[in-house]
Every structure is written in C-alpha cells, then in structure tokens.
Structure 1
C-alpha cells in the first residue's frame, strides 16, 4: 500500500478529537516543586519574553538582566503561610539554582 504525505485535513483531524487541555498546568507556567536542603520549594521558569525587570540573584549576587531566562523560587512549606512565602520569592539565574549556590 502506498503511503500518502498529504495532511488529513481539518475535518479528519476534528473527527480524531483533541486531548483535554490541562488548564492548571497552562496557568502555572510549568511550576514544579523541588526538595533542597531539607525544604520544599516552588520553582517556576521565566522566559526571556516574560523577563522585563532586573533582579538580584541570591546565588551569585549579580543582576538577572531583563530579557534573560531565569527561575523564580519560593518556599512551599513555610510556616507563615502561602502569602508570606510568595512575597519572599526570589529570582535566580538558572545556573545558580542548579548548582545550589547560596
């Protein structure tokens, strides 16, 4: 049987259906939870397009320049509550977070 390289077309794709979208995953921006130094951290990547301000990286003490992809990290298991943990979030260079610089 000869294989066709033509696309199936919109009607055929519609019959196949689409997988359900995970709205929570889309709205959290790929946020994940990591264990580090006996604590639980929420870690969320920030793309180059989203990075519009300069921040001070707590790992190396240098600026995270606007337009630089980086990570935002905050405690997931803090005792003062989610609002306090979110207010204490810090922007890290991806490399600094990966190597665990403090």
Structure 2
C-alpha cells in the first residue's frame, strides 16, 4: 500500500505559524471597474458582516440597513483626482445599481 502524504502534510501545516490576514488586500480583490453611461466606476461589494452602518441609496432613496449586503461605487475617471472620487463614493442597493437607476 502506498504511504499517505495527506496526514503528513496536515501535520506540517499545523506546526507553521498562521500569517495575519491583510483585510485591505482581501477586500480589494473584489473591487472591479464598470462603465456606465460613458463613465468609469469602481464598484466594491460590501458583505452583511462588513455593513455596520445605515446608508441612503442614491438609486431609490431608501435606507440600506446595517447588516444588509450592498455595493459601494465611486468614479474612476473624475477630473478632481482619486482622493476626491473616493470621498464622493456612495452606497447602493445591489439591485438599484444593477438596474441603472
């Protein structure tokens, strides 16, 4: 019978120290670019666990309650620079963003 490498690999990994998670790196992996009405947008999902505050959705005007998954969108091609675009970001219901309202 061939030796099992599976258990030995698990034991070796268990002895290695865990690296700290880089939250910024993990969340930035979900960020994407979209073009809407001729403008470039950065869009980043926010999970239920990350949604800690209430926001007003610019699409429907209704509240996005804490604990509700949604999207954050900001201009990627603004003329005032990245800092101004990021400070003007808005939280959208996912369905409102997809509907294009």
Please indicate the TM-score interval, normalised by the length of the shorter structure. 0.7 to 0.9
Q: Are 2:91 and 1:98 aligned? A: no
Q: Are 2:50 and 1:50 aligned? A: yes
Change (3 A) 1:39 1:91: same
Structure 2, unaligned stretches of length 5 or more?
A: 13-21
Across the aligned residues of Structure 1 and Structure 2, the Cα RMSD in angstroms comes to 2.4
- Over 3 Å off, 4+ runs: 11-14
The count of corresponding residues between Structure 1 and Structure 2 is: 89
- Residue 39 of structure 2 corresponds to which residue in structure 1? 39
TM-score by length of 1: 0.77
TM-score by length of 2: 0.77
CA contact (8 A) 1:29 1:45 kept: no
- Residue 89 of structure 2 corresponds to which residue in structure 1? 89
